[in-house]
Copies of this chain bind each other. A is one copy, B any other.
Amino acid sequence: MEVGYLGPKNSFTYKAASYYFDDSSLQPYSSITSCLNALTHMQVDYVVVPIENSLEGSVHTSIDGLFHHKDIKVYKEIILPIKQNLLVNDLTIVPEKILSHPQAIAQSQHFLETCYPNVLIEQVPSTTFAAEYVAGHPDESVGAIASKEAAEEYGLEILSENIQDNRFNQTRFWLLGKQPFKIDDSNIQKLSLFITLPKNTPGILHKVLSAFAWREIDLSKIESRPLKTELGEYYFIIDVIIQDNIPLVEHALEEITLLGVTYQHLGCYSIVIKE
């Protein structure tokens, strides 16, 4: 079995994927788009991609990609805490330059502004790249923002730990595939849908939400994304909480179809939250 993920090795997506798959089946891809394409072209059996971060919001490449790859389904959601650390070769080093991926830099903004206001911050393609660079340049006063796993992998020291701005920093990842997935699929907790509303129908979103609300079906998320046709045309991603209410959800979906709404069923799945 081959499983693609947003690489490189030791990325947070790698960490999410390695809870379910051995290293021998994991295959890094350099972008979310190439992960989804690999799945569509059957080069891999499953892929793991990030979907949403609690500070940065939805990962649009993933959401929009899934909207346009209609045969891909969600099998599982994995939620990981995202902890960033400042790594160096030697604890006596005073960094003159700090490298990391733009998102890790954004997540550690407060720490950097407070502790290293005059240090050069340089964007590199990944946190792993940053750690590898630091390990390969012991003569430079340089630090990397990356995970503890990256510190272990590259033999670096942790100068400051948990430097991200918010202790609730978490990312949701989805395990995606085109064929049934076997692990622990009895415990369904959520269903995700893409919904496209009929044009020029005022109040239609309200009617869609009514179909769920009067059946006491909770939605944990609703977000609009552009249809990429013209300004003001959107599709919606809706996450429905599943708890002994599957027949009611089915009725709600029948009803919104009668209202002229089209929907794309992304799958029912369980959620795993890691510490």
Residues of A within 8 A of B (CB): 33, 52-57, 60, 79, 109, 165-166, 168, 170, 172, 202-203, 205-207, 209-210, 212-213, 216, 218-226, 228-234
In the complex, which of the residues B53, B170, B205, B219 contacts A219, with contact meaning CB atoms closer than 8 Å? B205
Copies of this protein in the complex: 2
Beta-carbon contact of B205 and A222 below 8 Å? yes
Known: A203-B213, A203-B218, A206-B206. A57 touches B226 (CB 8 A): yes
In the complex, which of the residues B207, B223, B230 contacts A224, with contact meaning CB atoms closer than 8 Å? B223
Name the residue in A53, A54, A233 with the highest tally of chain B Cβ atoms < 10 Å from its Cβ.
Answer: A54
Beta-carbon contact of B206 and A210 below 8 Å? yes
Bound CA–CA A2/B165 (angstroms): 32
Question: For residue A231, which residues in chain B have a CB less than 8 angstroms away from its CB?
Answer: 52, 54, 79, 168, 170, 172
Nearest chain B residue, comparing its CB with the CB of A204: B213
Beta-carbon contact of A212 and B206 below 8 Å? yes
Beta-carbon contact of B170 and A56 below 8 Å? no
CB distance from A106 to the nearest CB of B (A): 8
Beta-carbon contact of B60 and A228 below 8 Å? no
Beta-carbon contact of A221 and B219 below 8 Å? no
In the complex, which of the residues B60, B165, B218, B234 contacts A202, with contact meaning CB atoms closer than 8 Å? B218
Beta-carbon contact of A57 and B225 below 8 Å? yes
CB distance from A242 to the nearest CB of B (A): 14
Beta-carbon contact of A228 and B166 below 8 Å? yes
Nearest chain B residue, comparing its CB with the CB of A219: B205
Beta-carbon contact of A202 and B216 below 8 Å? yes
Beta-carbon contact of B229 and A166 below 8 Å? yes
Name the residue in A165, A170, A231, A234 with the highest tally of chain B Cβ atoms < 10 Å from its Cβ.
Answer: A231
Beta-carbon contact of B218 and A54 below 8 Å? no
Beta-carbon contact of A55 and B224 below 8 Å? no
CB distance from A269 to the nearest CB of B (A): 16
CB distance from A219 to the nearest CB of B (A): 7
CB distance from A254 to the nearest CB of B (A): 18
Question: For residue A224, which residues in chain B have a CB less than 8 angstroms away from its CB?
Answer: 57, 221-224
